[in-house]
Structure 1
Amino acid sequence: MSAVWNFFTVCESDIKFASCNTCNENIPRGGSTSKKFNTTNLIRHLKSKHLAEHGEILRLTADNEKKPATVRRQRTQPALGNTRPYECDSQKAKQITHKIIEFIGLDDQPFSVVEDARFRRLLTHLEPSYMLLGRKYFSNVALPELHQTVYSFIEGLLKESVSSSVSFTSDIWSSDVSPVSTLSLTAHWIDAGFQLQRAVLHAQEFSGSHTALALAAAFEQMFQTWHIPKDRVHVILRDNARNMTKAMADAGLPSLGCMAHTLQLAIHDAVLSQPSISDIVAKGRRIVGHFRHSPLAYARLQSEQKQLGQLTKRLQQDVSTRWNSTYYTLRSLLEQKRALGVYAADFELPATFTSSQWDLTENTTLLLEPFEELTKEICSSTASAADVIPSVLVLKRLLAKDAAADHGVKTTKATLLEAVSKRFADIEKEPLYSLATIIDPRYKDKFYPEDAVKIETHRQLLRLITKASQRDPNQEAEASNTGPPAEKVPRPGSFSSMFGEILAEETPRQAHTDTPGGPAPSEMIVYLSEPPIPRSASPLAFWKTNKERFPDLAKVARAYLSAPCTSVESERLFSAASNIVGEHRNRLMTEKAEMLLFIKKNLPMMLLNKSNKS
């Protein structure tokens, strides 16, 4: 008799159906006569609705299964003859099984690892009494159970942050080894302790055409799944594709373009498309390719580097879709200029630079150096939407200044300034950017190019804190008794040094916060009158320390500083996805791939949370 009948009873009124003992639902037995009855539908019901009962069936039938491809218990050999095996339902056995599925999820291991002889041998040595279950158990039972545990943990965190808005990033990825597109959704929020939290909510299959209508429907469904109302969506960071932009508008979701993508477009339009620069980039690729595809040539180059007393470094290969990789290629060629010259005197190269091209390469890298510094900063885990307006203003200032290295790239520099101005036109008038900037204590209202923008931002902030206020409006904020810590002095003429120059030329001004409804709250006046904290300091650490002094402003900060300025988190997610859906696992079911990715990205946060509480 099948073990499934431990959980079902044949319906007395109609033997074609079986009643679930857990939920009382009547399930068809798969036929119209007794000869055609089977238990397939009953097992599917348990698998989809009652994972614990389904797991029990697998445990009950494991000992009787003889085919190697089916689920079975694999009894480890006891180290001592009298060692008694753990019961499957014992606490110790469950803990070990749980650790194994965590290992599979976090380390990108295939489910078949539990059938590997060396892995079983290791478990036998570590715990002879543990009875190892088969691959299908971990795939069909342990994985969904762990996924549900992590899902509930993330759901709880999101509910705890109900008083604050949540920001999101999203992107679409297509695997090279599987004809499946994946749509991601990553949440970013600041908890009550002013710690930035991130969680992957979805990395789901997105089939069919990537139209704006289909994307809008997908986002609607994803937010409904997590019970996130649209009024809690602060902003979604996306790429600059038209279909994604229109999808956000159609779904009624606030969105912003990825700053890194916008920089890529500006640099490509103004720099990499210039004939003289594209020529040195093409030559550089041929030179790098020569050494990458010839171990003998690379060995000879290494020998030249050692003779010249240089470090043995490989030349960097660029990727056409990432401008900074082209920058690294040109810089690596400059570093190896002498070694390449000596090599070319003895061996043949597919291309060489002229003297003027070497000068152009050097000046181009100097021109792009601030962009490379900025790209690193905005792609960091601490970057936020508050960095956009100050960074763009600094870029414009640097591009507008004359420098000794402008020889040969003056036209390119002017074109780059024009491209940056065009791509980031009127960003200071976007409330999501301007309010994030003013609520960041590193910037406040010191980086607005026009007084009119500053005045309007003050008024927008006043409306927000008035709405957030739940206390006596006459309550006074205490003045700060401690000054900001000293900041490291950046290199003159660098991207970082320009921030200091802009702050130095700013003169203190009265906040334009009076409205027909009355003057600004005292906490807003005090906050804006204090000098900005060093740029290297943490804005979240500031708000954690000063949330009692500025309670209403702190509420605004939790929403506006949660938004990143790029969709890099989604790109990092897809890097993890490429490890899960690889050449050796290209037939992995989409549902399980999403579970594994969800666990890999979110389980570390759950484990850290448990560790902090213990």
Structure 2
Amino acid sequence: MERAKESAVWRYFTLATPTCSTAVCNVCKGNVSRGGGKTATFNTTNLIKHLQKHHAKEHAEFLQLNKTKGKGDNTAIAQQLTLADALQRREKFPTESLKALGITQKVLEFIVLDAQPMSVVEDEGFRRLLEYLEPRYSLPSRKYFSETALPELYKKVCEHISKEIKDVKSMSFTTDIWSSAVCPMSLLSLTVHWLDMSCKPHGAMLQAKNFHGSHTGDTISAAIKEMLDQWHIPLNKVHVILRDNASNMKKAMDNMGVRSLGCFAHTLQLVVNEGLLSQRSVSDAIAIGRQIVGHFKHSPLAYSRLQDIQLQMQMQPKRLQQDVKTRWNSTYLMIQSLLEQKRVLGAYIADNDLPSTLTANQWALLEKTSIVLAPFEELTRKVSSATASTADVIPAVTVLKRILAKEGDADTGIKTMKKTLLEAVNSRFDSVEDEPLYALATLLDRDIKTDTLQVHNLQRVQKMH
């Protein structure tokens, strides 16, 4: 009713009551029906027609007023169009319509790009969201996405990658084997890397397949060869394969007759492990720190008390970092977290028990250990980035050697660890500068600006050839 009264036509008509079925014309004082059989269906169509038929001057004024207000020249027709549009919105899109196919494609991309489970299309909250955004869209079933949409997308992506690498003369690869933490299976992966005509780097995961049986060099080489054959990549296009340092992986590459390099980050892991375990006092301090972190990890009550102390000291509540023995940088992060919470832990043990505590000397050892390991952690992050390349290896090893060889007063208590770390670096990276792949990559790297290093590498390359 209020909405109808907004029309400019009511400048020429008057209602005796809001629910009256007729309106009185202000010009001729005649009664004009408002149409419809009840209040909800009243409209202004008859009123407009009355002005048009009997009062031309007033009708012209009405049209001008409506036009000025931006409501068109016929409110009744506009209302009818709005009603038709509303009815149309209640109808679902045909399954094969461009709009429906487009939304389905975006839902599939959401699942793939964000690693969402297929079951998300059955989740009530997700379905409500789509219903609110577009009521006319019918979300396909989980079976459709898993058995039809995803295989079709996979096929398109494979065709695109095949087209991209078809004319590439030389490609590099990375491969690895890892075991699932949730089911008894192993996966073998193969990723390709190449440069386009403008020397822009590209990369794509070609396959991650279930790897059955014993992980011998023969079975690994056979599996990788099979994956290369599926992508129609001959061995003469394989520039180098980056692998871990396990003997079975090295043997697999030798069996295939391709050049390979061990993982730099994995070698750093071995170097740090030797250094950390070389000095009993340091390894003991780390073991006690691991017990302290484990205490809070397995006791919600203990962590709650620790959090209360953090708040009392006006510190942001933060959990202690648990380390994983197979990843040395997690041990570094654990040491860092313990050092950050040193005052909090001191306040905690005043009223609570811990399985073990660190002495003042052990705290000092952890601080010095953290300083020594900081460059290793930084290099690990750098070589683990998506933009890392073999050109980073020689400069990284050079920097590590210089840092570890430098002695200072702050080395008291960790000299053995630094010495062993330096020996491990020299031992495990002894031939890195004699490896043509590393030397050439460093020589050609645009980011290497030091002329001396360029000349040094060039001389080594000349000697190799």
TM-score, with normalisation over the residues of structure 1? 0.58
Please state if 1:393 is matched with 2:420.
Answer: no
Alignment correspondent of 1:201:
206
Instruction: For residue 354 of structure 2, give the secondary structure of its aligned residue in structure 1.
Output: coil
Partner of 1:155: 162
Match of 2:272 in 1: 267
Residue number in structure 2 paired with 1:89: 96
Q: How many residues align?
A: 381
SS at match of 1:170: strand
Q: In 2 relative to 1, CA 141–299 (structure 1 residues): closer, same or farther, beyond 3 Å?
A: closer
Per the TM alignment, residue 302 of structure 1 is displaced from its structure 2 partner at its CA by 3.2
Code of the residue aligned with 1:321 in structure 2: it is T
The answer for the alignment partner of 2:413 in structure 1 is: 408
TM-score scaled by length of structure 2: 0.76
CA distance in 2: counterparts of 1:408 and 1:189, whole angstroms: 47
* 1:455 paired residue number: 459
Tell me: CA distance 1:303–1:156, structure 2 relative to 1, closer, same or farther (3 Å).
same
- Is the 2:175–2:243 Cα contact (8 Å) retained in structure 1? yes
Q: 2:228 aligns with which of 223, 227, 242?
A: 223
Q: Distance in 1 between matches of 2:192 and 2:389?
A: 14
> Amino acid of the residue matched to residue 141 of structure 1?
T
Q: Comparing 344-353 with 389-398, which one deviates more in the overlay?
A: 344-353
Residue 380 in 1 paired to residue 385 in 2? yes
Name the CA distance, whole Å, in 2 between partners of 1:375 and 1:116. Answer: 40
- Give the structure with higher Rg (CA): 2
**Cα contact 1:438–1:444 (8 A) shared by 2:** no
1:391-540 residue pairs with structure 2 within 5 A? 391-443=396-448, 454-458=458-462
**CA RMSD, 1 decimal:** 2.6
In the alignment, what sits opposite 1:316? 321
Q: Separation in 2 of the partners of 1:278 and 1:380?
A: 29
Cα distance change of structure 1 residues 437 and 291 upon mapping to structure 2, 3 Å threshold: same
Q: Distance in 1 between matches of 2:448 and 2:106?
A: 46
2: distance between equivalents of 1:148 and 1:207? 25
Q: Distance in 2 between matches of 1:447 and 1:292?
A: 51
Match of 2:334 in 1: 329
For the 8 Å contact 2:279–2:416, the answer to whether it is kept is no
Q: Distance in 2 between matches of 1:108 and 1:450?
A: 47
Q: Are the counterparts in 2 of residues 83 and 128 from structure 1 also a CA contact under 8 Å?
A: yes
Structure 2 distance, partners of 1:430, 1:137, is: 51
- Alpha-carbon displacement from aligned partner over 1:137-162 (angstroms, at most 9, x marks no partner): 222211111111111122222235x1
Residues in 1 aligned to 2:433 and 2:209: alpha-carbon distance in whole angstroms: 35
- Asked whether the 8 Å contact 2:443–2:458 carries over to 1, the reply is no
SS in 1 for 2:184: coil
Q: For 2:272, give the aligned amino acid.
A: I
C-alpha contact 1:182 1:204 (8 A) present in aligned 2: yes
Structure-2 change in CA distance of 1:446 and 1:424 (3 Å): farther
Do 1:188 and 1:196's aligned partners in 2 also have CA atoms closer than 8 Å? yes
SS at match of 1:171: strand
Per-residue displacement from partner, 1:284-308 (whole Å, max 9, x unpaired)? 0111122222333223333433444
Separation (CA, whole Å) in 2 of partners of 1:121 and 1:224: 45
Deviation at 1:318, TM superposition (A): 0.8
Task: Say if 2:111 is the partner of 1:104.
Answer: yes
Question: Percent identity of the aligned residues?
Answer: 55
CA distance in 2, matches of 1:313, 1:142: 43
Task: Report if aligned partners of 1:327, 1:365 keep a CA contact under 8 Å in 2.
Answer: yes
- Compare relative contact order (CA 8 Å, sep 6+) and give the higher one, 1 or 2: 1
Residues 101 and 418 (structure 1), Cα distance of their counterparts in 2 relative to 1, 3 Å cut: same
Kindly tell me: are residues 229 and 215 of structure 1, through their superposed partners in 2, closer, same or farther at Cα, counting changes over 3 Å? same
Query: 2:243 maps to what in 1?
Result: 238
Q: Which one of the candidate residues 362, 377, 383 is aligned to 1:357?
A: 362
Instruction: Find the counterpart in structure 2 of residue 610 from structure 1.
Output: none
Deviations 1:205-247 (A, max 9, x none): 1111111111111111111111222222221111111111100
2:134 paired residue number: 127
Distance 1:135 1:332, change over 3 A: closer
Distance 1:371 1:278 in 2: 17
User: Are the counterparts in 2 of residues 79 and 125 from structure 1 also a CA contact under 8 Å?
Assistant: no
- Indicate if the aligned counterparts of 1:366 and 1:405 stay in contact, CA closer than 8 A: no
Is 1:348 equivalent to 2:353 in the alignment? yes
1:187 equivalent in structure 2: 192
The Cα offsets for residues 315-336 of structure 1, whole Å up to 9 and x where unpaired, read as 2111111111111111222222
Could you list the per-position Cα deviations for residues 473-520 of structure 1 after superposition, in whole angstroms to 9, with x for gaps in the alignment?
Answer: xxxxxxxxxxxxxxxxxxxxxxxxxxxxxxxxxxxxxxxxxxxxxxxx
| Residue deviations 1:408-439 (CA, integer Å, cap 9, x gap) | 11111111111111111111110110000111
Compute the displacement of 1:406 (Å). 0.8
What's the secondary structure of 1:317's corresponding residue? Answer: coil
